[in-house]
């Protein structure tokens, strides 16, 4: 009866090898895929707004959907922006995890967030590159920076960890006004 086990093992090995080859040949997305996906990612501000007051099930659903959307963005990124997108998505995942692990304690979430930011040195340049690519290739504006005037451009108050807002914010089609 060893023959059926050997046949199953051989078939399994062949499937694994085929899967590995497929993964190697399609390991990057395209500008078109990226542009479609970038319009699907929610802003972290929206996902995490007032998280300590949110119903735990609703918060978890928002986190899960955001994580899936950002993972999709990383998968859709073409080679030219892939590494930068991976770094931004890695930080987004760390931010989501900080809130997920401390849903009722903004202070602990903020401490974990600061650690995540320290662990992702250079992410500002990655974030800027992703935002520039989205603007140039997709005509989508990401990253409306809120760090200079905390609260000055927002209509509602959120947690004191505004670093979340500056990672990547809701995509919007660009209709920028030059007036001030």
3-state secondary structure the chain: CHHHHHHHHHHHHHHHHHHHHHHHHCCCCCHHHHHHHHCCCCCHHHHHCCHHHCCHHHHHHHHHHHHHHHHHHHHHCCHHHHHHHHHHHHHHHHHHHHHHHCCCCHHHHHHHHHHHHHHCCCHHHHHHHHHHHHHHHHCEECCCCCCCCCCCCCCCCCCCCCHHHHHCCCCEECCCCCCC
pLDDT of residue 142: 83
For 142-153, the pLDDT digits (tens) are 865 444 333 333
Region 30-44: mean pLDDT is 94
Whether 28 shows a pLDDT value over 90: the answer reads no
pTM above 0.75, yes or no: no
């Amino acid at each position: 009866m060893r023959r059926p086990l050997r046949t199953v093992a051989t078939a399994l090995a062949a499937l694994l090898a085929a899967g590995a080859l497929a993964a190697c040949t399609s390991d990057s997305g395209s500008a078109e895929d990226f542009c479609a996906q970038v319009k699907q990612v929610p802003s972290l501000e929206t996902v995490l707004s007032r998280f300590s007051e949110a119903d735990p099930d609703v918060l978890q659903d928002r986190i899960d959907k955001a994580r899936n959307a950002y993972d999709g963005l990383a998968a859709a990124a073409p080679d030219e922006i892939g590494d930068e997108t991976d770094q931004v998505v890695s930080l987004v995942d760390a931010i989501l995890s900080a809130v997920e692990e401390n849903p009722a304690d903004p202070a602990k979430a903020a401490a974990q967030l600061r650690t995540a930011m320290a662990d992702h040195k250079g992410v500002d340049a990655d974030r800027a590159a992703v935002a520039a690519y989205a603007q140039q290739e997709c005509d989508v504006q990401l990253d409306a920076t809120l760090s200079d005037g905390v609260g000055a451009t927002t209509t509602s108050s959120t947690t004191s960890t505004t670093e979340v807002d500056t990672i990547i914010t809701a995509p919007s089609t660009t209709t920028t006004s030059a007036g001030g």
